[in-house]
Every structure is written in structure tokens, then in C-alpha cells.
Structure 1
Amino acid sequence: MKKYIFAAVAALGMTTACTDNFEDINKAPHQISEESFQADYLFLKAFFPQMQQSIYYNFGNGYGYQLQQNLNADIYSGYMTPPTPFIGNKNNATYALVDGWNSWAFNKSLDNILAPAKSVSKHMDLAPEFYGVSLILKVAGMHRVTDMYGPIPYTKYGEVNEGGGLPYDSQEAVYDMFFEELDMAISLLKDKPAIANFSEVDQMFKGDFNMWAKFAASLKLRLAMRISEVAPAKAKTLAEAAISAGVLEGGDLAQVSADGLKHPMALIKSWKDALMGAPMESILKGFNDPRLAIYFDPSDQDGEYRGIRQGIEIETKDTYSDFSGINDNVIGVNKPLLLMTAAEVYFLRAEAALNGWSAGASAKELYEMGVQASFDQHGAGDASTYLADATSMPADYVDPENAANDIAAQSDITIAWDAAASAMVNKERILTQKWIAMFPEGQEAWSEYRRTGYPKLFPVEVNYSNGTIDSEEGIKRIPYPSAQYQTNAAAVEAAVQMLGGADHGGTNLWWDVD
């Protein structure tokens, strides 16, 4: 960001150094002119790398991602488990929620996404395309935050309440604003020509505004499906409109990539603090899924693919540290930060079609397109044989270190589409394959698990929540940071009232009606 600000200041100095008339002389010497602003959008460009790199957090190659997501959503999704018994094994994995960890996503997202987006919005008339992109990045980042906590500061960000703190919105109000902002972004960006000097800071689509519009429509579809249980009629209207607007398809990927930008999971891998979760072993092994060897490394112990069950008693890191890590195919140091894939969108459309909504194809067709898109993304080849498999199902989990952690598979779902099966069975089929395809994006996988209950994950064996989180139901949310009670007490207490339950990990979010 410093680089772009320095360039902006240098350019500003040049524009104010040469003046030919009295009007220009009387302009404030340090205020950028509208003409100069329109020519290069100098200051606005500085905000975009910050916003893009802060969604899947690695702004400036910082170390915040482990606290932002890896030690909460990545675990709760079933994707990964730390072999490390942090804080005497009383930590997020065993539902002893750590306030110092869980405040990160709340604070950093407000600072690194909402604040720069607010700055861009002040110049929406001068740079409408920039404003449209900022709205998309704002939603892409902040929907993850509301889906962790519930009510959050959003529509009134930048204002202060009577106590001097930030006012909160209900999650329903936040979602309503998301849909408005995505619609605005689509209208500003669809079919608009690229602006050449934006491409240098566009680390996702290199200045292609049509791709930004497709990403916006895809996010709208994702969020429409999220509210499909609590507001089905509204979700139907929104989902059909999103699909009609044009969403990610084929080999489309929404990902952040820039010279020198490192994948934050690569550092965590070097620490061996995130290994394969037991549900991944159970489902991928049981399905004989070729993505198993693409996603993970074999165990150093015996060459097998071995995952760790979440919420077990771990005495030392040495016990499980030689189990399967994540392959560099997925989280290599120079790999892009993946936010959304065409495969996910096909599965979203498949679920919409299963609901009887207009989705552009049948549920079966979209389901199979989603699987093939995931295979294509990872170089796994033709998926036709895999898709025809009507017998393979998730496998029982066996812990070679401690038989007390062994557990039977939680589902008998198979791969091949079954037109004779109930809608609920085929919904589980769609959601299970979607879960596989979204790896390693644990935030979205955790949200969809809470919304649907799929795929069926293993319950924790050790639960230190003092009865606030049900082991079978699983964790529902992250509590608000304690600092909010100290500096913004009235607002956070009002947020808890909007939440409709106690501020702990067992209270359902607005859209989680199961």
C-alpha cells in the first residue's frame, strides 16, 4: 500500500507544480484536482490490494490468517485439525473458545475491508467502476464476519453511538444490504470496458469488470442459498436473478494473486499446525476420490492418508504431527488465495434446481457439472467413472494412535445421482460433493454445514464449553471479542438481543434454523 501512496503523492506533486492561470494558483496546494483524480484515480488504487488480500487474510504477507480463520472455521468445517495441544488442549478445537484468537477476524475485517471501502465510497461519482468493485470486496469480506458472529457493525460503519462506539445491525439487515450492494455493483460493472490503469491493482481479474460482475452475481447466489431456509420465497427470487445475471462457470475462479504474495497456509504447513481432518479421510478414502492425493500428502508415519479427529485429547504435538499435511498443489507458497470457484456455483445452482427454482439446467446436470469442474480445476481427469459409482460411501474412521477416537462413518451417501432418491438424500449428495470441491475454504464449508447439516461430520470427543455447545450439533458461532464489551458495551449488548440467544458458541445465527 505504501508503494501506491508514494506514487500518488509524487504524481500529485507534479500536477500542482505547474500552473498557468490564477484559478489554479488559488486551489488548495495539497488537494487533488478532479481532473487529476479522473486521470489516474491515484489515491483510490491504493485501497484495493489491501481489501483483496484481507478477505482470505494475507495483507502484506502478515501472519493473521491462522487467527482469522484457521483456528476456527477451518477446524469446524472438518477440513483440518491442528495436532498441537494449544493451551493445554483447551482451545477452539475442544470448544474452549479463546478470546484472544477469536477477536482477530472481527477487528481486522473492520480495519482492512470496511474502512477502505468507506474511503472509496466517498468518490463513487468520480469513479463508479472502482466503487462497484469495492462493494463486491466489501460483501466478500464481511459476509464471512457476520457468518462467524451474527449481528455486526455494517450499515452505520463510520458513525458513533451515544457511548462513542460502533452501532450494530441485525444479521438480516446486513444481508439485505449485501443484496443491495451486489445489485448496485452488477449494474455498475456489467458490460463495462476495462480501465487500463486499474489492472495494476486488480489482483483478481486484472481489470476485467465483466468478471467482477460475474463474481458479484455468484456471491449473490451464495448468499441467497444461505437464507433459503429462513426466507425461502425471497431466496428464490434472489437466486434466480443472480443466475440470470451471469455467474462463474466453466473454469472460472475468483482468486487473489500478485507478485510476492504468499499463501498464508504455506507458513502454517511449515509449522505443522494444520493437518487433514478425519472427515476428509473418511469421505475421500471411502469414495476412492482422486482428489485425496491432490489435496493431501501421505502420512510420514506409514505412507497412508491419515486425518485427525477434531476435539480429541492430545497430549503432545508429536502424537499426530506425522499425519497427512496439505499438499503444495493447494497451498504452495506461491499459490493464489482462492475465494470462489465455478464448481461451487454449479452446486449452488444444483441445489436451487432441486428446490424447483429456475437454475438453467436440471439438478442432476448441474451436480455432475460441479464435480467435473472440480476435477478440471485440480487436474483430476475425466469424472465420468467417479460419477457412475453408486456403491462407494464414506469409510469408518480409525485412529491408529488411540482407539478411543475410532468412530463409524456418519453417512451412507453415495456419489452417483439417484433420480429415485428423496430430495433430502440428493441434497446431501450435492452438499457433500460441494464440500469436497470447496477445499480448503473452511469458512464457507463451515457456514454451509451449519445451514444444511451436510456433510455429516464427526462430533467432538472432548468438549470444554461448559455445556454451552452441543457436541452433536457442533459449534454455531464465535462469541464477540471481550474488548467490545469494554469499549462498545451498549452496542454489543443490543447485538446480543438481536442475536436472540446468549453470546456463546451454541447460539444459532439468523439463517441457521436447524
Structure 2
Amino acid sequence: MKRFKFIPCLLLLGLFVLAGSCTEEFEEINTDPNNPVTISPALLLPNAIQVSVDRYWGHSTRFERLNIDAAMCWIQHLARNIYINAEGDTYEIPITVSTGTWDNLYNSSLVNLEQVIELAGEGGEFQNRNYEGIALVMKAFTFSYLTDAFGPVPYSNALKGAADEPVNSPDYDSMEEIYAGMLEDLKLANEKLTIGGPVVNGDIMFDGDILRWKKFANSLRLKLANRQAAKKPAESRAIMQEILSSPQTFPIFTGNDDYAALNHANVIGSRNKMFDVFSTRSDWNISTTLIDKLLELEDDRINVYALPLDDGSFVGLPNGLTDAAASSISASTIGQKFLDPEAPSILMTYSELMFVLAEAALDGDISGDHMDYLEKAISGSFEQHGLEMPSDYIGRLGTIDKQTIMTQKWIALFGQGIEAWTEYRRTGFPQMPTPDPNAIFVNEGVLPTRIEYPPSEYSLNMSNLEEGIQMLGGGDNMRTPLWWAE
């Protein structure tokens, strides 16, 4: 965000010339209190958090909803029963999904977060370690969303449009470089965040609870380290071991009371955005893939994720059907919990962290029993939805391997379609069933691996974009694998 600078001396042509400098009194008189020179972090932070969360979980702008219209369908949590070709279910999305994601995260979230870091940092006008730490956490979360969706993106020079030496055409950074930067920022955030330190206002996520921010910072750092572990094993192991070996220094989520989510009120503009979408439209059903897996496991979470038909049964809708074929099938719709206007928008849960640690333990990247972590992950997911995991549930899963862990993680991530999509693209799990004979998929039948860069980059930043595409290692399409793909 640009700062507005006042010029204290005015030359009034035709009347008089002020000799020397303007007086201090004159400057005070001509300072408009309604248009401040700078905006405080307390005013910048709420919108920055809100935009990042809404773009991740769901928002009301049609043709821009990456999570609801695309990722949740691609990962076969949901299926479309109308407008199937136009809005995601056949692997085709309008370019406005890319544009809306890119423009809002950069211009409405990251720019403001960077301004908070500048204002609250050492020597800043509102020096405050806790504002700085919070902004670093949300900056890392938001950039992880961007790079995991697009691949290489502007990062190191992306937010310098208002700097003393402005950068209006930022170069692209590789995903490896961006991950290194995010992991460093999260470690720095943990150092900056000080329990009992300076007070913060405008924290719409945790209401100024600094311990919760520290736990989110370190839990997110574990997740990102694990995500890159196949490409940078030694460094990733070191990060995970550093955090887990010193819980006093690096607190993490330890139960279902620990999670990162934005709570909502039943007021227009503040409601859970999934309520705004799903309560006013009937375009979606629960995917057959998810329904069949939950029925196979006799998994009670089906009662939370889906609504039964009139006869009490649960029926899914195959993905990728034509409108005509889909309209002939009566299928379950999304569960009542997600239709609650006050339901939280979830960024990360205790259950998700335990799945991260289960995978890391199975891979040998951390010490500990992967079965213990897996049981905590699954039971945490059940508890998150007010359910109790059956005592024999683990036994229903058969052989416990990476596919089992990631399939269970896919079930637990219902609602967080972007996260489930990323984990599928990274690991190849869960294995998706053979498409329905009546399904028609575009993108050469490949479940999208990324989304394309927005047209604005082609028109305004072409030379740097070309370097970004070279880093991508493939074409700017939805079939090029991203850096962390195993």
C-alpha cells in the first residue's frame, strides 16, 4: 500500500511567497485527520487476513472460487450437476479463477501484510513484534497458497511497488526459493511473537492470542517442510526435528483446541462463505468417490459431510457427467454443518498436522511411531466433527502404507479442497477410480496439476513471466507437474 506524503511548503502563485521553510504550525493546520499519512497495522491486518482466508476456503464471487468450483470437484469431494463444462468438474475453469486468485491475494492481502511488517518492524512507526510476527505467518500461508496453485511466482520483489525504488515488474522466483523464504519467515515469526508482549488489535483470527499464532506458525512450518521433503530431504528433516525436539521454543498444535480458522457471525459480509454459496444454489452434490469410500469404511463422518436422501440412504454423483446425465441422478448434497452461517473457515487443524507427522514418521524423516500419529490424526478428525472414532476403525483400513495415510488425509480434508488437491498432486494419493462411462473430461483427461497464469502477466510482465515458465519446466497449462511432485 502506498504511503501518502505531505509537502509542507506551498508556493501560492499570484499572492505571496513564503520565505524560508513553512512553520510547524502551518503543517499542523493543514494535516487532515481523516486522511492520515500512514494507516496503522490494526486497520490493515483484518482485511488482509479476511481476503486470504476467503480465497482459500470460499467466497461469493462466481467464476473465481478455486476451492468450491474447482479443487473440491477435481479432488472428488464434490461433483457438479449443472454448468459442469463451465465451472470445474470436467477439469475446465474460466480464466477468472486464475485472475481472481492472483489479483486478490497480491493486491488485497500480501501488499497489506507487507505494509504491516514494515510499519511494525524495528524502526517502524508502529513498532510491535507481535504485529510483525502475525503478518509473517499470514504472508507465508498466502504465498504457500499462491505457489502451490501456480508454481513459480513473483516473491522476493513482488511487494516493492511502493518502495523507495519501486519494482513494478517483479521477477519470478522458483518454488524451491519460495519455500526456503516461507520456512525462514515462519521461523522468524516464532521468534518475533512474544507472549505477554505488545498488544495487537485487528486480529480477527485469534483475537490477540499470541500462543495460538506461535502454534500455527510452527505447525505450518512442519507442513511445508514435509511437503518439500522428497526434494530437499536433509534440510526438511532438520527443520522438523528442530521443531519437534523443543516444544517450549516451538509450540505446535497438540489437540483439537488448537487449529487455525476464521470464525464467523451471522451477519452479511461476515458469514461463512460456503453458507452463502451452498444455501442459495443447488449446483453441487457429494461425489460418488467420497460417498463410496465412506460407505465402504462404515465411516460416520458421512453424516457430517453429506445429507441423506428421503429414504435415509447416501448416494453420490459421478464427476464429469454432462448436464443431462447428471440431472437424472438424485444424489446427496453437502452436510448441514457446512450450511451454518457461523461455521468457521478452516486453514489448518490438529488432525492435519498429525497426518503430516504420520507421513514423516513413515518416511523416516522424524522419530516416532507412524501408527500412533495416524490414530491421533483420524480420531482428531472424528472429534473435530463431534464424533468418536470406532475402536476397530484402524483395523478396517488394512495394510497401513503411504496410500492409506494419504487416503485418510483426503477424507479428513473435506472442505479444504485446495489442500487435498495439493496433497494429491504431490503424492498421487488417493487413487482415483475409473471415470464413469458417461463422463467427459478436458485437459487431455489429466486431473489439473496447477492453474494457468493470469492474462495480466502476459500483458504487463511478459519477460519475467517467460522466465517463470522456464522455471516451471513445462508449458503454462494445467498438466505441468509442480516442483514438489513425488
- What is the Cα deviation at residue 195 of structure 1? 4.5
Instruction: Assess, with a 3 A threshold, how the Cα gap between structure 1 residues 197 and 113 changes in structure 2: closer, same or farther.
Output: closer
**Alignment partner, residue 181 of structure 1:** 185
Instruction: Specify the code of the residue in structure 2 equivalent to 1:310.
Output: N
Contact kept? 1:276, 1:323, Cα under 8 Å: yes
C-alpha displacement of 1:334: 1.1
Matched, 1:488 2:484: no
- Is 1:210 the equivalent of 2:208? no
Contact 1:253 1:342 in 2 (8 A): yes
Q: Which residue of 2 is the match for residue 52 of structure 1? A: 49
What is the one-letter code of the residue matched to 1:264? K
CA distance in 1, matches of 2:394, 2:323: 38
User: Which of 249, 253, 268 in structure 1 is aligned with 2:259?
Assistant: 253
Q: 1:354 aligns with which of 331, 340, 362?
A: 362
The 10-residue stretch of structure 1 (278-287 or 441-450) with the greater mean CA deviation from structure 2: 278-287
The structure-2 alpha-carbon separation of the partners of 1:232 and 1:331, relative to structure 1 and needing over 3 Å to count, comes to: farther
| Cα separation, 1, equivalents of 2:166 and 2:352 | 43
Q: Quick one: which amino acid aligns to residue 210 of structure 2?
A: F
Greater helix share, structure number: 1
TM-score (norm 2): 0.83
Distance (whole Å) between structure 2 residues aligned to residue 204 and residue 105 of structure 1: 21
* Structure 1 residue 163 displacement after superposition: 10
Which residue of structure 2 lines up, in the alignment, with residue 113 of structure 1? 109
Hey, what does 1:457 align to over in structure 2?
432
SS at 2:393's partner residue?
helix
Corresponding residue for 2:404? 429
Q: Could you say which residue in structure 1 is the equivalent of 2:66?
A: 68
Task: Identify if the C-alpha distance between structure 1 residues 133 and 197 changes in structure 2 by more than 3 Å, giving closer, same or farther.
Answer: closer
Kindly indicate whether the alpha-carbon contact (under 8 Å) linking 2:358 and 2:373 is maintained by their aligned counterparts in 1.
yes
Instruction: Give, as a single letter, the amino acid of the residue that structure 1 aligns with 2:219.
Output: S
Would you say 1:307 and 2:316 are equivalent positions?
A: yes
Partners of 2:70 and 2:87 within 8 A in 1 = no
Aligned to 2:78: 80
Counterpart residue identity of residue 167, structure 1: D
Q: Which aligned pairs between 1:348-387 and structure 2 lie closer than 5 A?
A: 348-359=356-367, 361-387=368-394
Q: Is the 8 A contact 1:195 1:207 kept in 2?
A: no
- 2:301 aligned partner: 291
How far apart, CA to CA, are the structure 1 residues paired with 2:482 and 2:137?
A: 23
The aligned amino acid for 1:166 is P
Cα 1:368–1:163, aligned 2, differ >3 Å: closer, same or farther? closer
Q: How does 1:311-326 map to 2 (within 5 A)?
A: 311-315=320-324, 318-320=327-329, 322-326=330-334
Match of 1:498 among 456, 471, 475: 471
Aligned-residue offset at 1:303: 3.6
Identity, in percent, stands at 27
Query: Closer, same or farther in 2 for the Cα pair 1:483/1:194, shift >3 Å?
Result: same
Listed as ranges, the gaps of 5+ residues in structure 2 are 1-22
Tell me: CA distance 1:224–1:483, structure 2 relative to 1, closer, same or farther (3 Å): same
2:93 and 2:449 mapped to 1: Cα distance? 12
Q: 1:203 to 1:258 in 2, by over 3 A?
A: farther
Q: 1:31 to 1:136 in 2, by over 3 A?
A: farther
Contact 2:67–2:416 (8 Å) recurs in 1: no
Aligned to 1:92: 88
- Number of aligned residue pairs: 440
Tell whether the 8 Å contact from 1:275 to 1:307 is kept in structure 2 after alignment.
Answer: yes
Contact 1:117 1:134 in 2 (8 A): yes
Alignment partners' CA distance in 1, 2:80 and 2:481: 25
Q: Is the 8 A contact 1:149 1:477 kept in 2?
A: yes
Give the gaps of 5 or more residues in structure 1. Answer: 1-22, 390-413, 419-424
The whole-number CA distance in structure 1 between the counterparts of 2:32 and 2:113 is 21
Whole-angstrom CA distance in 1 between matches of 2:182 and 2:167: 27
The whole-number CA distance in structure 1 between the counterparts of 2:167 and 2:462 is: 8
| Paired residues of 1:263 and 1:332 also in contact (CA < 8 A) | yes
Query: Structure 1 residue 186: deviation in Å?
Result: 0.6
Say whether residues 1:147 and 2:158 are aligned partners. Answer: no
Structure 1 residue ranges (4+ consecutive) displaced by more than 6 angstroms after TM superposition: 160-163
State the TM-score, normalized to the length of structure 1: 0.79
Task: Tell me the SS of whatever aligns to 2:65.
Answer: helix
3-state SS in 1 of match to 2:374 = helix
Question: How far did residue 278 of structure 1 move?
Answer: 2.1
- Tell me the distance in 1 between the aligned counterparts of 2:385 and 2:394: 16
CA distance, structure 2, for counterparts of residue 122 and residue 284 of structure 1: 48
Query: In the alignment, which residue of structure 1 is the partner of 2:16?
Result: none
Alpha-carbon spacing, 1:293–1:132, altered in 2? closer, same or farther (3 Å): same
Correspondence list, 1:164-179, <5 A: 164-179=168-183
Task: Report the secondary structure of 1:103's partner residue.
Answer: helix
8 A Cα contact 1:218 1:248, kept in partner? yes
Partner of 1:400: none
- Structure 2 residue identity aligned to 1:429: T
For 1:122-152, what per-residue CA distance to the aligned partner results, in whole angstroms no more than 9, with x for missing partners? 2212112101100111111221111111011
Picking from 109, 122, 132, the partner of 2:118 is 122
- Are 2:278 and 1:269 aligned? yes
Q: Which amino acid aligns with 1:388?
A: G
